[in-house]
């Protein structure tokens, strides 16, 4: 289905079809979910809705302890995959050099990190590739809450709408295959403020796996909220219980020594006193016993499940102590994190392939022709025993079991193998000339 057929079928060829499109229930639910996630990350948790109480006849402000564990988990998920920059690879030297130059000028390593950050937080984000005023190819990240992709019946994107409101004024940017048109209603009526030729095509959608809807992503955060809410509720209520019940209740058993006129009572304002009671009576301070063991057990269970579900190694949250572990043991501890990173890697590469095609198209418009294929590799942020790794690589290389390129690709200090190979060749040629 083309965009024209879509507009005719659902909006009767209306010129302002995009105004009705952004109000569809599917968009409303998707955007509202993203906004809810943004509010949660900003600190608006369910525990803040806990009501205050009455204690000893006076108002008591209950504790509302907010744990920002979600940010820590999401930051780890992002940094684990992209702490080390993405390495471009290509068998064609010219293609690789051209793409490296484009990436360097646009600071794509920073853009990639921001894309993954939004991806794990909200499940989806969008990128528009264009040529800036300086003639450089770069990208703009479109916030997920302002993004309204238009799909046909097969799930292919046929248009894209960027919609946001500032000071009560609506702004629309409608992307089609050939044009980018800007609208606003700042004068009270909707009108066009700009029309541009779209030379790079529609924005790129980055999305995670969603079992219920393949047209949108699902945030990792949605799996953590209920467990973190339980942790916050447990800690807050235990804190209140400790405050309320740590002071004991005086209990006197036997004959009271207080007379009818009140003599024998203890002045509550004094800090110390002597109590004389009948030899058959008993006096003690009764305190509520706080079950700290069950609190710790429940807390540990919740934290363990949170780490399991988020696939975060316990060592990164200081939940375990280690010493003198081999590289194999460390990799086993990070195995679940690697599984999740692999899924995020696939989501990024799906978008990168579209980006590379758009960059290739824009380069052709600038008169730069490249024919080689481009790909990339990721280096996960897994702690390594560098000395052990280098020793093993050196042994394999000396015995002729691996090539220099493979040895460099496995070295923990080298991320750009192609560039390093060129430097080694240059150094070797320089040494040969000097020796002659």
Look at residue 406 and tell me if it is in a domain: yes
CB-based burial of residue 345 (10 Å sphere; 0-12 exposed, 13-18 middle, 19+ buried)? buried
CB-based burial of residue 432 (10 Å sphere; 0-12 exposed, 13-18 middle, 19+ buried)? exposed
Domain boundary among 220, 246, 276: 220
Look at residue 319 and tell me if it is in a domain: no
In angstroms, the CA 191 to CA 180 distance is 14
CB 186 within 8 A of CB 169: yes
pLDDT digits (tens, 9 = 90+) for 379-397: 888 777 677 778 888 888 8
> What phi, psi does 209 have (nearest 5°)?
-75, 130
Domain boundary among 220, 254, 280: 220
User: pLDDT averaged over consecutive 10-residue blocks of the chain (436 residues)?
Assistant: 91 92 94 94 91 81 88 91 89 90 93 95 95 92 94 92 94 94 92 93 93 90 90 86 69 65 60 63 69 77 81 68 61 81 93 95 92 89 75 85 80 75 76 56
Domain boundary among 168, 187, 220: 220
Cβ-based neighbour number of residue 394 at 10 Å = 12
Q: Which helix (H) or strand (E) holds 434?
A: helix 417-435
Q: Which 8-state DSSP code applies to residue 48? A: G
Look at residue 228 and tell me if it is in a domain: no
Give the structural domain span for 404: 384-430
User: Token pair for residue 20?
Assistant: 């009705």
Please state the domain count of the chain. 2
Indicate if the alpha-carbon torsion angle 363, 369, 373, 377 is positive or negative: negative
pLDDT digits (tens, 9 = 90+) for 149-180: 999 988 899 999 999 999 999 999 999 999 99
The whole-number pLDDT of residue 265 equals 63
The whole-number pLDDT of residue 158 equals 94
In angstroms, the CA 103 to CA 244 distance is 60
> What phi, psi does 132 have (nearest 5°)?
-80, 180
Checking DSSP bridges between strand 87-89 and strand 124-131, what pairing results, if any?
A: unpaired
* Helix 25-41, helix 108-122: angle, nearest 10: 100
Look at residue 356 and tell me if it is in a domain: no
The whole-number pLDDT of residue 262 equals 61
Look at residue 345 and tell me if it is in a domain: no
pLDDT digits (tens, 9 = 90+) for 11-21: 998 999 999 99
CB 202 within 8 A of CB 160: yes
The whole-number pLDDT of residue 242 equals 75
The whole-number pLDDT of residue 144 equals 93
Look at residue 331 and tell me if it is in a domain: no
pLDDT digits (tens, 9 = 90+) for 191-227: 999 999 999 999 999 999 998 888 999 998 998 999 9
Unique residue bearing structure tokens 């564990």: 69
Q: Which of 201, 180, 203, 184 is nearest to 192 (CA)?
A: 184
Look at residue 436 and tell me if it is in a domain: no
pTM to 2 decimal places? 0.79
Look at residue 204 and tell me if it is in a domain: yes
In angstroms, the CA 312 to CA 309 distance is 8
Helix-then-strand count for the chain, H and E? 13, 14
The whole-number pLDDT of residue 268 equals 57
């Amino acid at each position: 289905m083309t965009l024209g057929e879509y507009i005719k079928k659902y909006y009767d060829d209306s010129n302002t079809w995009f105004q009705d499109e952004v109000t569809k229930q599917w968009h409303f639910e998707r955007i509202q979910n993203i906004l809810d996630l943004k509010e949660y990350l900003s600190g608006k948790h369910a525990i803040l809705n806990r009501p205050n109480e009455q204690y000893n006849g006076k108002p008591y402000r209950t504790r509302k302890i907010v744990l920002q564990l979600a940010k820590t988990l999401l930051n780890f998920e992002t940094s684990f995959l992209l702490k080390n920059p993405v390495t471009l690879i290509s068998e064609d030297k010219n293609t690789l050099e051209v793409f490296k130059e484009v990436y360097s000028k646009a600071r794509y390593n920073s853009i990639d990190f921001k894309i993954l950050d939004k991806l794990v937080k909200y499940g989806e984000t969008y990128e528009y590739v264009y040529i800036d005023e300086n003639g450089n190819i770069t990208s703009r990240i479109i916030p997920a809450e302002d993004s309204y992709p238009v799909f046909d019946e097969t799930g292919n994107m046929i248009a894209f709408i960027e919609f946001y409101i500032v000071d009560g004024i609506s702004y629309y940017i409608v992307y089609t295959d050939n044009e980018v048109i800007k609208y606003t209603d700042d004068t009270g009526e909707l009108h066009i403020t700009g029309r541009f030729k779209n030379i790079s095509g529609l924005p790129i959608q980055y999305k995670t796996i969603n079992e219920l809807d393949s047209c949108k992503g699902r945030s990792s955060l949605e799996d953590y909220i209920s467990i973190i809410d339980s942790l916050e509720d447990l800690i807050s209520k235990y804190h209140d219980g400790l405050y309320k019940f740590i002071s004991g209740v005086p209990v006197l058993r036997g004959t009271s020594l207080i007379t009818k006129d009140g003599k024998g009572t203890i002045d509550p304002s004094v800090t110390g006193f002597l109590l004389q009671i009948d030899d058959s009576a008993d006096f003690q301070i009764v305190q509520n016993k706080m079950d700290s063991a069950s609190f710790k057990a429940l807390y540990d269970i919740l934290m363990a499940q949170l780490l399991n579900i988020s696939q975060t190694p316990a060592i990164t949250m200081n939940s375990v102590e280690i010493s003198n572990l081999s590289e194999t043991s460390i990799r086993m501890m990070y195995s679940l994190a690697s599984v999740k990173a692999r899924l995020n890697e696939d989501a990024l590469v799906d978008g990168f392939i579209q980006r590379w095609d758009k960059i290739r198209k824009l380069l052709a418009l600038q008169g730069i022709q490249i024919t080689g294929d481009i790909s990339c590799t990721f280096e996960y942020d897994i702690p390594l025993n560098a000395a052990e790794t280098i020793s093993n690589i050196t042994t394999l290389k000396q015995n002729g079991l691996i090539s220099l390129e493979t040895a460099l690709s496995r070295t923990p200090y080298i991320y750009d193998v192609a560039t390093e190979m060129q430097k080694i060749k240059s150094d070797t040629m320089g040494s040969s000339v000097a020796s002659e």
